[in-house]
Amino acid sequence: MNITENVMTVQGETWREFTLFNDSNMEVSILNFGGIISRIITPDRHGNVENVVLGFENYRDYAVNPAFFGAIIGRVAGRIPNAAFTINNQAYYLDANDGKNHLHGGPNGFHHKLWNADPYETKTTVGVRLSLDSPDMESGYPGNVRINVCYELDNHNRLRITYHAEADRTTPLALTNHTYFNLSGNVTQSVANHHITMKNAGFAELDQEFIPTGSILDPAGTPFDFSSGRPIQDGIQSIHPQNKIVGNGYDHYFLFEKNGDPDVTVYEPESGRTLTVTTNEPGLVLYTSNNLDDGLKLDGGESGRYAGVCLETQKHPAALTNSNFPSILVTPDQPYHTTTTFTINTK
């Protein structure tokens, strides 16, 4: 196992890309700009080594990155309606960057920050530790927050992402990683035939602006029931109002049913690649790139609808107004700590 580093200058900033290599022919590349996972290279069942995430061909395109490819999202992942929230009867007003709403931390969110980066090795892993200080009232959020995110790869093809943060005031915090996976490799196919298995206790109903209504819907008997596994194609072709409302597919928050199994398994039958996701988060946003722009120049191909699938493990900002969702508030006495592990193997 080893780590390499590539240094580049983009718009006057020094960006560093670290590539983590294990002994099982897997490699993961991470930029300190945005904490972006720019590549994950793994073999398929035939030994073909390919990239299984969406990333730009030209690194300079990450400076804009409207699709949030591979980035750390914060302070809060998801949409906050009317770009405002209230804590203890105090109203806070955020930057609106999705119509009248606030999306993924706003235009100056963590996906556009230059993080401090320190590579490291242990006896069984290689990793990169990223750190960032977010000052009080940045983008409208209260409190000074210190964030650490570690990416760590082992020889069992497990990429572990650990998030830790401390705040000096009560503030919302809901971090995630916005990587788009495509297990076919090098964007050779859409993700329509990716099979997903997930035991979920319900999913959040959305309104026309993709804002949760507050209702948690029962997935049984719908295209949102992944308990026995189903291809993404089912949601793309579905006439269910919740599939239609997000542009034919999925862009929904699912609450997990915890039972000791992997929270999510994704299988691509042609390559034989399997991605398992385990986390201590209470749920995830499943996004099937229904609204991804066409024609972005990617490493291995071009972007388009259904080019990737995001598995955004997190708590949801709907908690700011609805008790059906786990709280996203962090206090000086209750720091933030979550872990998500992505494991990619073949069968």
> Which of the residues are catalytic?
178, 312
Q: What is the 3-class SS of 185-239, one letter each residue?
A: CCCCCCCCCCEEEECEEEEEEECCCCCEEEEEECCCCCCCCCCCCEECHHHHHCC
The answer to whether the CB of 340 falls within 8 A of the CB of 161 is yes
Helix (H, G, I), strand (E, B) or coil at 52: coil
Measured distance CA(214)–CA(203) in Å, rounded: 10
Give the gyration radius of the chain's Cα atoms.
19
Bridge partner residues of 340 (DSSP) = 161, 279
DSSP string, 16-49: EEEEEE-TTS-EEEEESBTT-EEEEEEE-TT--E
State CA 308 to chain mean position distance: 12
Neighbours of 7 (CB within 10 A): 9
Cis preceding-peptide flag for 160 (omega within 30 of 0) = no
Q: Helices in 200-273 by DSSP H: which ranges?
A: 233-237, 241-245
